[in-house]
Structure formats: C-alpha cells, structure tokens
Amino acid sequence: MPGVIERLLTAEVAREIARAYGDRPIYPEQIVIDSPGRGPRRFPGWPGPVLVLADENQRGCSWGVPLDGTHVLVGGERTTVTYAASVEDFIVARRWDNQCVNSAFCVAAQAAPLDEASFGYLRAHCTPSVTTQGWPGDRQYRFEHPDVRVLLWSDTGQCDWLISAATEVPLRKFTAGLAGLPSLRTARWAGEA
C-alpha cells in the first residue's frame, strides 16, 4: 500500500472529506481491494488492484488508489478514470468542495456547456484551484476570488455552477459580474444572489 495514503488519509480525514457529498468512507476503517477477476468491479477496466477509499452516497461510483500508484481513481458502472493526480489533490478537492457546497451563502445554476469566453473570464478574475475529472461531470474546475468560491461541474451537455461566499455581499457582487457570460445567459438559477 502506498505510504502516502497511510500518512495522509487518517480515519478523521476520511470522515471529514466524505461530508462534502455524504459519501461513505471505506479506508482506513476497512481495507477493501478491488481486483480484476473478482466479482463485480468498482473500478471496471482498471488492469490492477485498487484500494477502495470511499463509495459515493448512492453507490453510483467509488474512489480508490491503485496499489502501484498514488493517483486517485473514480470508477462507476462502465468506466474508470483518474479523478485526481494525487492523494493530496483528492483531499484538497474534497475539503474545498465541502466549504463550497455547504456554505450558507451559495447559489447554483444549470447552464449551457462551458464556453471559452466564460472560462476565460474565470481565469482572468479568479485563482484556479485543483481540477478533478470523472465525477459528477467530465471535469470539475474550482476557482477562488476574494471570499468567493466557484465550482464548475462541466459535462458534454451542460455545466453546473456552484458559487459560494462567506457572506452575502461578495456573493452578490461576484454573481452580478457573471450576468453577461455566454454560458450563463439561459441558466436556471437556484438560491439567491
């Protein structure tokens, strides 16, 4: 088992990062290895054994680390992809998401697919954070602006935007600046900004 996992993913950290989406932590409370040739796979198509870290709250996917690597995979019904480049990035992403999605001041939008103008706006006005892929969209982007977090779940047919802030004022100010972005022109918003 890669030593980085034992060092970083303690039982306390596993429970903490599972809170973001209500997932079920597996490691380190249990050692579960998903291997080729053994029953239904959590990580279909992956050629080697994988240490299972957590199961998604509806059991639609699982996260794990190949025993011969330190990147984190996400596996579902038909496919397995690299979710994060490292265990460190996995932990950072899950902590970041927890702060964003569980903020008292958060708005969400179902929007058109992410376009280059909208993406360029975020890159120009925000600081990028860790990027992941494979769940819940093809790719997840995270951006920070003073007192604001922007989480994008980018998929082929749409992009979900989750924008949160420590207080209402920076949330309103930031979302007002997004009004003209092509991706958000026909968006359906939830929450108040």
Report the interhelical angle of 87-101 vs 11-18 (nearest 10°). Answer: 40
Domains of the chain, residue spans: 3-92, 103-184
pLDDT band at 39 (very low <50, low <70, confident <90, very high): confident
Q: 109 by DSSP, 3-state: which?
A: strand
The torsion angle over the Cα atoms of residues 11, 14, 17 and 18, rounded to 10 degrees, is -110
pLDDT tens digit sequence for 54-99: 999 998 999 999 998 889 999 998 899 999 999 999 999 999 999 9
Q: Are 96 and 142 contacting, i.e. CB atoms less than 8 angstroms apart?
A: yes
The tokens 């376009």 sit on which residue? 115
Terminal CA-CA length for the chain: 46
| pTM across the whole model | 0.93
Check: CB of residue 182 under 8 Å from CB of residue 111: no
Structural class in CATH, domain 103-184? alpha beta
For residue 190, give Cα distances in angstroms to 90, 105, 108, 127.
27, 12, 5, 24
